[in-house]
Structures are given as structure tokens and as C-alpha cells.
Amino acid sequence: MSDIPASEAERPPEPERPHEAAPVPAAVPGAVRGTVPKPTPMPPPTPDITYTQCKRCGTELAGLDGRYSCGVCGWSNHWSEGHRPLPRAEDDPDAPPTPVNPLGEQ
Ligand SMILES: [Zn+2]
């Protein structure tokens, strides 16, 4: 009357899953490491946060300097509707000297 089933002790051990270590990617030869940006003496003007309604779905939108993009329906206004001219590539102090297309050189 005091029989205890011993089946609990006879479970097969769970197979161990060896954790495969992900290979660490080696440094890509030819990759240009980013340089520490120097502090600019005159920071560019900060864009203003502006608000409007989406012209397609009516969602209240916030944008920068009158440029909007709706996250609900995907509408965006034309860049020329912005309140200020967009910065040019030459205005970027961190811009590379010349753009290089790595696929173009073979
Ligand atoms: Zn919208």
C-alpha cells in the first residue's frame, strides 16, 4: 500500500545544446574608421518644431521647419515647402572630402 512510483527518477537527461559562439566579424579591410568630430565653433541654427495636419488622413503632425512626414499614411510634403533652405553637403563639417562608390572601382 506504500508503493511509490519510481518513474520520476528514470527520466532521460535533456540533451545539452552547445551554445555556438557567434564569430566576431573581423575588421573590414579598407573600412574607414570614423574620426571624432571636432566641436564646431558656430553651431548651425536649430530647426523649429512645427505642427500641421496631414493633408491625406488628417493626423496631427509635428515636423521640422515646415517639413512633415505622416507615420500613419506615409504622406510627406515637398521639401521645398520648408521654412528654411536645406543644408548643403558642403555645409556638413563631417562630410567626407569626396564621395567614393566602392562598387564603382574594380
Ligand atoms: Zn497621414
Per-residue pLDDT of the chain (106 residues; tens, 9 = 90+): 555 555 555 655 555 555 555 555 555 555 556 666 666 567 667 889 999 999 999 999 999 999 999 999 999 999 999 999 888 888 888 877 776 788 886 6
Residue 20 lies in a domain: no
pLDDT at 38: 64
pLDDT at 76: 96
Residue 28 lies in a domain: no
**DSSP structural state of residue 44:** P
All 3 cell numbers of residue 74? 506615409
Residue 68 lies in a domain: yes
Among 44, 47, 41, 48, which residue's Cα sits nearest to residue 91? 44
Residue 90 lies in a domain: no
| Three-state secondary structure call for residue 8 | helix
Residue 51 lies in a domain: yes
Residue 18 lies in a domain: no
Q: What angle do CA 38, 44, 94 make, to 5 degrees?
A: 35
- Give the distance (Å) from ligand 1 centre to CA of residue 62: 12
- Give the distance (Å) from ligand 1 centre to CA of residue 76: 8
Residue 80 lies in a domain: yes
- Residue 51's domain comprises 46-85
- For the chain, the domain total comes to 1
pTM value is 0.46
- Give the distance (Å) from ligand 1 centre to CA of residue 51: 13
Residue 33 lies in a domain: no
